[in-house]
Structure 1
Amino acid sequence: MVMADGVVQRKRLFDLLAGPPAVRIVVAPSGFGKTTLVRSWADAAPRRALVWVAMGESITTRAEFWKLVGASAVRSDHLDAGTFAALSRAVDTLDDPIPAVARCLDDCGPILLVLDAYEHVRGVTEAIDADLLQLAAQVARLEIVVTTRATTRLGDDVEVIRGRVRVIDESDLRFTVHEVAELLELHAPQLMGAAERITVDTRGYPLGVRAVAHALRGRQRVPSVDSAAWKRLVTADLRSQIDDPALAEFILDTSVPPYVDRDLARRLTEADADVLLAELEWHGFGRWIPYARDQPVFQYVESVREVFRERLAAEDPRRYERVAAISALWLDRHAEHGAALALAIEARQYDLAARICISLSAAGPDIYTTDMYERHLRQVPLEVLPRHPELAFALAMAHSTKAATRGASDEYFRIAARHALDDVGALTPQEVLHRHVGREVSLRYLGQSRQAAAAAEAGLAHLDSMSPADREELGDSCSMALAILAYSLFSIGDVDRATALVERAVASASGTWVRNYVSAFAGGFHGINGRLPEASAAIAAIDRDRWPDHPDRVIGERRLPHVLGVIGQATLRLDAFDHAAALAEYDEADWLLDVAQSWPFITWTLMHARLAAGEAGTEARRVADALAGRPPGIGPNLGTAALVNTLAVLWLADGQAAKGQPILRHDTPCRGQLAPARLLYQLVADDPAHVVRGVAALLDEPGHTVRSRAAVETLAAAAALRADNEPTAVALLAQAAGRFHQYGVRLHLLYLPATDLAALRELAGTAGRPACVAYLADPVVSPIQSVDQTPVLLTPREVEVLRVWATSRTRAEVATELFVSSNTVKSQLTSAYRKLGVSTKDAAIQRAIELGLFIGPAARRRGDERS
């Protein structure tokens, strides 16, 4: 049997690895020599392209896995940088990237793809398993060899029986007596006769066998031990096997990173790295694995690395941190960002950790939905975060994307906001912009809308002050910053400026996924505002097949764009009166509904769809319950005001106006969003002429959108018509119809009681206004029904007293208004309460609304007198 580098070439296992089938999986616990076996076999096999993928960090997304494969192929010189860039875009955006991967690998000719330490794929194992089987079927000259400690569906009996996969497990990997004898011949030939006993004692455990072979060199007899003892020999007593102190010191320094190349080994130590690495390989303590073109890396046997790494950390923390810092820089330069972040934090190199976080976030905001930040950044002491607000921000964002941890994010957002602008004089202009953006987002997530808008203004001012060269260096990060900063301006009602900023972001974006991302912002802003042509254009610009994936999507489900894009699409459905389709936009978005900062806007669209479906009461209670739990995005902002407006409409549609009236006093800088519901309540509860007189003031409220103005104009037209003021009704209706024909906005027609909608349609026809006729022509669900005229249960004077009472705070105010005494008011209210079967003011008003008493003859006579 041929020996190489101190390793027995095990032909029995080589034959199993040779295939067919195209996929072979080597599965066994640590210490079974999986990587050493595959490395030896690959070196001895006929020459072909070899792509060795060493997974030293957890892989949390499908795209991350295939990018790692592509990067390994580039380092091995089997893929050029341009092809890798195209492949990265494909795996980021395509629902099925495997055809693109297959084309790249097929171009390499005969190729062996080794996936070492596949257990690190973790949560996406099932998806990658399916990808590998698909890839093997599509690429004829591809062989795939997987080493793993964890079970995987690749090894399912069904796949094995079908001949698609071969499984090599620990029963295959255990040394036979013959193989132990071959190993002893190499390391302890004087004990060749003890091969059978060693095999029995170690149960053929490969690392135990090798430890025995090394430990027994120079001995003439074999001690009696069991396999557990041999494992302890490999771990706790491993240092005693290394006679050379210089070699032990070298292992201590080079065991901190997951692997080292010759250059990194020289940086970490002052020893002759080439000689020592060769000796370590001969002893079987590690092996060279492919990494980059002409740049293999040395990877220790896991047990060896753990022993020396833990010893260095315990005995010499400062030396450990120095080694970890150098290793983190090396890994970061080689795009191993996850491993680099972990070592930077262990080395307490928080400036480097902050830069890594910025790079990761700029590469794709979906990084916040993985566990990478939370897993590593929770090791950072709390007192360190104020000096490194980027780390606080990254940790806050990671917590905020999960319902279970969202409550813990506020503390970190406060740190990020409070310290974002500390010591910015020492930062580059680009780093200062990242700080501004982090501060704006942190304040917005904390519900401080006005402060967030001020922070956005500061960030935009800084961006405008940057030189053209500095802005150019930002690349697509500039587009991202514009869109993100625009959100806070949109939130306080500065809608036109916010939409102008996102349009600027779209125009400046060069990368496809960034253009998709900022186009989703534009689609959402325009849809919420009520500019449907612009919303449609923005959403149409999104390449749905090239949208970054989200980690919780089940393979086969459609991809969802950024949540603002989903909201924009839902508004298009709502204005088309396709309410079921609006609901369906969120069918596969459960992963974001509970944590998205756009929750008020998401809920606003759902509320309208369910209002149209006749579920006003159920939806009102659901939203009221949710508001009690402090959902994300709630605060003094446009989204919350729009939600409160719709909630009041839902309560009215459910016959519970008493619950809707108090919430219309909601304090917001966007009172224009409350105007439609306020007018609707007045339309039902007050005389129509009084409503018409208040329209101008409602339209002057701050925070209006195209949508809210059209709603006010339409409802005001209904009020004017009730007041027999047809010219005003026609003028107001024409204004609303003009907005519809220019922008397509008409969702608010849901608010009109059926009788008012019918009256406006008749008015549009008789007035010869075809634009108004077209505006009202399509069938509309009317959840808020007008109550038919009923026999008056109260005397005209009791109705009048009750009507004034509805808008007064005390009986004295009613008495003054009606020129009667307080006792008279009290007597008439008592009588009215008794006839209506109620005992409270709110209940009396609600009952009067339900009976239509406030739009009866008494109220009309009063309106006539006033006009």
Structure 2
Amino acid sequence: MESPLSLVVAPAGAGKTVLLSQWAHSHSDIAVAWFDITVADDSPGAFAARLVEGIGSVVPTLHAPGAPLEASEGRLGDAFLDDLAGSLGELDGRLVLVFDDLDRIAGSSILTDLWRLIDLLPPNVHAVFASRVDLQLGWSRHRLEHGLVEIRQRELAFDDSTTARVIEHIAGKPVSGHAVAAVTARTEGWAVGVQLTALSLRFADDPDRVVDELAGTDRLVVDYLSEEVLDALEPSRRSALKHLAVVDEVCAGLVEAIADVHGAAFLAELERDSMFIVAVPERPGWFRFHRLFRDLLLYRLRADDPRAETSLLEIAADWHLDAGDVEIAVDYLLRARKWERAIERVLLSGREVFEQSRTATVARWLERVPAEVRAAHIDAELLRAIAEGMSGRGLVAVDAMQALLAGAELSIGQRQVALAYLAASVQFHPHPEPFVRAAVDALALLEAHPDAEVPDLLGLTSKPFLAFLARGSLGRAHIFLGDLVGARRHLAAAIALPGFAYTPYRVHLLGSLALVEAIDGRLGAATAHSDEALETARSAGLLSHPAPADAYLARAIVAVQRGEPDVGALALTEGIVRSAANQRTQLMWVGHAIRLLIDPDDYQLATVEPPGPPPAIVRQWLVTIALRRVRVHGKTSTQAAPALALSSSWSSVHFEEIAALLADGQAAAANARIRRLAFEPDPEAPLASVELAIVAGWTYALEGRRGQAREQFEKALALAAPEWLAYPFLRAGPAVVDLVEELTGGRTEFARFVIARARTAGGRPNRRLLEELTPRELELLAFLPSRLTIADIAARCYVSTNTVKTHLGHIYRKLGVSGRDAAIEHAVELGLLDAREIARVG
């Protein structure tokens, strides 16, 4: 318990599970969450839910992690693991996590994530990894750092004394010392070999003769002795065992359905007779067979009746359907190759699949159905494509949907569904243009055929919802194309449609609209939309869902635009995490660009880019950032970034081009450049008007026309003040801020704020920390003098209390303090914090 990890590695039948079960049972003062790993645990969504549920079943006070998974990458992800570790650190008492049979997911991303979790575990939590094989996870570091506890075959092997006790208990008769020594030697103390020998001795007239006939160990012993054991059983009991072997786990009711025997009594007899049955720790009343014993039972069943397994699996599926265990039932139907029934049941899936982030499971189910069978079920193919997109496999979804539209005999209603969901894939694809066409075609088809029958897929294919989805996707496509006017128009039209009532998509759409407003400088509207989206998500339990990604990113842009990027650090991280959770590459690029806007000189960040090419709007930002970097480092505009095709209307790139000319003293050239640009003021896009007024004032100042320069700067301040839009002034640089102060006198609160921010920008306080605080930690540090509670801070930032506690723990560790008051005092000493100010949370 003093080490974060114990490792139990030994072959099948060595007694790993029995040892751990007995150890857990002997420590009643310690909560033990036990996880029997199966191949199904390779699904991150299902495994994460099971992990949280399993821990919560033994520690009811656990706060479920709020961070989303990186399910599209087959991972739990760092955000989820950090959040989980923070939750575990809050628990009272000690907790042990047992992961048995980890070899079943060897090589998977889930296993890598569990290995990462070990480094994050708080001191009150211990993990146990049990596996048939060495998992090659790099144990050496843990041996050196944490005193890794290792138990292997040599520690598990029975000696003569243990062998004698096991044989006498199971066989029910005394055995000579010679026989005991022979069993130990020939099985090498292998637990299952001893157990099987003891079972065979129960039915033998001459135990010593049976021992003398043992030919070896490992699988040879299993094959020989298992047949001896099975053949000695009554036919009815042997038949029941073979039938039960088709399912992964059994309970009394399922035993009765499959084997037609009294379930509870039959299971009790198996336990009493040590017949290789093991209780499932996290499911009271459920059992599973030892893997090797089950293999033999299945082998015998298939040899006796090749068709029996299929019918038994179907019986098990029906039993689970009656019990409401749909996921297990569908798995058994697929294993039974009952494709039609499996498809029928999957098509009944409802909205909860999307809301609970289980779409990857639906996609995986349908992928297991042979392609030729799916081809005869267009609705199933549509559902598979939709599920692939929702689970983050956007390119797979696009290919599947385009193939259906190009080659399948779709009804009008099916075509309406396909076009609307193809349009929705704009978030996953680097080129928005095809999705604009899909959205336009979907809307036209919906209008032309309002009465066409549409299939009900996930409860998300009604006519009003499809219209909403297509219109909202059209708005998103225009965002990524850089057409914010068109984006705002289509998003506003989508909000007026009935589909806006569906909570997850309402969160999506409000966040997208907030993004548009934040980019254009309407920061009040952006804040209102993003807060509504996040509050809606909080009320519906969707803060950990990918849906709020846009809203978080909008909050981060608002913070940047207001000249306080540190206030948006948490929101930026949350937005990037949720974008990555289902591989929305377009939003991932937006998050990447925001980070570069905050620190254009972060060359390391610039080299770590999201997958695929950036969308048009981000390409424009990247060129702007590159031009600014060139200008700030004192080079001329001829050394700027690669050219970008631009319209003649105003953009941030034009702002940087003109600023570069002005920084180089070329006022005439800047003036000529401004006159060539077409500009019409748009009250819904104040940023452009502010930028133009700034460069106009700068130009006039260089030309000596101070009165006109003053007018332009005052105009810029008046336009920016209602939104507290400080970023254009800060981006222009110290020369412009000096002119603003000199010519306007800094008479307004907003002007004084801009000047003060410019004076402190780039300056680092004299810190004496071995490890610098991250932007997220600095944001939370600023809240400490406010005396807001942790719950208050979490509510204002729309993150979980676990997230806040985790970061506060990091802050205290880096500052070398043990609590809030000491952290405030030391942060003031280091220049990290002005304790007289309350954190800005607007």
The answer to whether TM tops 0.5 is yes
Q: Which residue of 725, 728, 738 corresponds with 1:748?
A: 728
Mapping 1:19-34, distance limit 5 Å: 28-34=10-16
- Contact 2:548–2:575 (Cα < 8 Å) also in 1: no
Tell me the equivalent position of 1:204: 189
Counterpart of 1:711 in structure 2 is 691
Could you tell me which residue of structure 1 aligns to residue 381 of structure 2?
388
CA distance in 2, matches of 1:314, 1:411: 40
Q: Counterparts of 1:317 and 1:647 in 2: how far apart (Å)?
A: 68
* Aligned twin of 2:488: 496
The structure 2 residue matched to 1:222, chosen from 192, 206, 210, is 210
Q: TM-score with structure 1 length normalisation?
A: 0.59
Q: Distance in 2 between matches of 1:302 and 1:353?
A: 29
Q: Structure 1 residue 206: deviation in Å?
A: 1.7
Q: Counterpart of 1:299 in 2: which secondary structure?
A: strand
User: Deviation at 1:665?
Assistant: 1.5
- Tell me, in whole angstroms, the C-alpha distance in 1 between the residues paired with 2:432 and 2:363: 26
Quote how far apart the aligned CAs of 1:20 are. Answer: 14
Which of 176, 187, 190 is matched with 2:171 structurally?
A: 187
Equivalent residues in 2 for 1:373-384, closer than 5 Å: none
Q: Secondary structure at the match of 2:279?
A: strand
**Residue of structure 1 equivalent to 2:618:** 639
Does residue 134 in structure 1 map to residue 113 in structure 2? no
Residue correspondences, number: 700
584 and 130 in structure 1: CA distance in 2 versus 1, 3 angstrom threshold: closer
- Residue 222 of structure 2 aligns with which residue? 234
Determine the C-alpha separation between the residues in 2 that align with 1:451 and 1:228. Answer: 66
State the 1:299 CA deviation.
0.6
Q: Within the alignment, does 1:528 sit opposite 2:516 as a pair? A: no
Corresponding residue for residue 791 of structure 2: none
- 1:741 Cα deviation (Å)? 0.9
**1:258 matched to 2:248:** yes
If you compute each CA radius of gyration, which structure gives the higher value, 1 or 2? 1
Matched, 1:698 2:698: no
Do the aligned partners of 1:357 and 1:390 also contact (CA within 8 Å) in 2? Answer: no
Within 2, Cα distance between the matches of 1:44 and 1:236?
Answer: 35
Give SS of 2:277's match: strand
Task: Compute the displacement of 1:296 (Å).
Answer: 1.0
**SS across alignment from 1:296:** coil
The residue number in structure 1 matching 2:781 is none
CA distance in 1, matches of 2:29, 2:739: 85
Task: Give the 5 Å matches for 1:427-446.
Answer: 439-446=422-429
The answer to whether the 8 A contact 1:577-1:747 is kept is: yes
1:84-233 counterparts in 2 under 5 A? 96-98=86-88, 102=92, 117=101, 122=111, 123-125=113-115, 127=117, 134=124, 171-172=155-156, 174=158, 176-177=160-161, 179-180=163-164, 183-184=167-168, 186-187=170-171, 189=173, 192=176, 194-216=179-201, 217-218=203-204, 220=206, 221-222=209-210, 224=212, 228-233=216-221
Question: Which residue identity lines up with residue 496 of structure 1 in the other structure?
Answer: R
Deviation, structure 1 residue 444: 3.3
CA 1:185–1:780: 2 relative to 1, 3 Å: closer
1:574 maps to which of 560, 564, 587: 560
Partners of 2:169 and 2:158 in 1: CA distance: 18
Q: Is the 8 A contact 2:426 2:477 kept in 1?
A: no
Is the Cα contact below 8 Å between 2:667 and 2:702 reproduced in 1?
Answer: no
Q: Alpha-carbon deviations, 1:31-56, whole Å to 9, x = none?
A: 13444567689999999999865443
Distance 1:517 1:237, change over 3 A: farther
- Matched residue type, 2:431: Q
Deviations 1:756-788 (A, max 9, x none): 6655655545xx9858955864464999xxxxx
Once residues 180 and 439 of structure 1 are traced to their aligned partners in structure 2, the CA distance between those partners, rounded to angstroms, is 68
Once the 2 structures are TM-superposed, how far is the Cα of residue 378 of structure 1 from its aligned partner? Answer: 7.7
Match of 1:410 among 372, 395, 404: 395
Taking a change above 3 Å as real, the CA distance of residues 497 and 425 of structure 1, as seen in their structure-2 partners, is same
Aligned to 1:601: 590
* Deviation string, structure 1 residues 588-616 (Cα, Å, up to 9, x no partner): 999899964324323433443444x5x8x
Corresponding residue for residue 826 of structure 2: none
Matches within 5 A, 1:213-362: 213-216=198-201, 217-218=203-204, 220=206, 221-222=209-210, 224=212, 228-235=216-223, 238-239=226-227, 241-243=229-231, 247=237, 250-268=240-258, 277=267, 280-281=270-271, 283-287=273-277, 289=279, 296-309=285-298, 320=309, 346=335, 347=337, 349=342, 361-362=354-355
Q: Specify every segment of 5 or more residues in structure 1 that has no aligned partner in the other structure, as ranges.
A: 1-18, 107-111, 137-143, 401-408, 552-559, 784-867
Select which of 632, 640, 644 maps to 1:664: 644
What CA distance in whole angstroms lies between the structure 1 residues aligned with 2:270 and 2:45? 35
Residue 352 of structure 1 and its aligned partner are, at CA, apart by 5.2
TM alignment of 1:400-799, pairs within 5 A = 410-416=395-401, 418-419=403-404, 439-453=422-436, 487-488=476-477, 490-492=479-481, 493=484, 494-496=486-488, 524=515, 526-533=517-524, 564=550, 567-568=553-554, 570-577=556-563, 596-611=585-600, 631-632=611-612, 634-635=614-615, 637-650=616-629, 655=635, 657-658=637-638, 660=640, 663-666=643-646, 672=651, 674-677=653-656, 687=669, 690-695=672-677, 697-699=678-680, 705-719=685-699, 733-749=713-729, 752=732, 762-764=742-744, 777-778=755-756, 780=758
Matched-pair identity in %: 15
Question: Aligned partners of 1:359, 1:423: CA distance in 2, in Å?
Answer: 29
Q: Over residues 615-634 of structure 1, what are the superposed CA-to-partner deviations in whole Å (9 max), with x where a residue is unaligned?
A: 8xx69xx96x889xx94462
Is 2:160–2:184's contact at 8 Å kept on the other side of the alignment? yes
Cα pair 2:98 2:129 within 8 Å, conserved:
yes
**Cα pair distance change 1:180/1:495, threshold 3 Å:** same
CA–CA distance in structure 2, aligned partners of residues 357 and 27 of structure 1: 42
Sort the Cα spacing of 1:67 and 1:649 in 2 relative to 1 into closer, same or farther, 3 A: closer
**TM-aligned CA distance change 1:449 to 1:462, over 3 Å:** same
SS, match of residue 31 in structure 1: coil
Contact 1:522 1:538 in 2 (8 A): yes
* TM-score between the two structures when normalised by the length of structure 2: 0.61
Deviation digits for residues 403-452 of structure 1, max 9, x if unmatched?
xxxxxx63553224554898998999xx998x778534434322232443
Matched to 2:167, the amino acid is: L
Q: Is the 8 A contact 1:573 1:582 kept in 2?
A: yes
1-structure distance, mates of 2:56, 2:738:
69
Segments of 5+ residues of structure 2 without an aligned counterpart are: 69-79, 762-842
State how far apart, in whole Å, the 2-side matches of 1:597 and 1:545 are.
24
Conservation of the 8 A alpha-carbon contact between 1:56 and 1:339: no
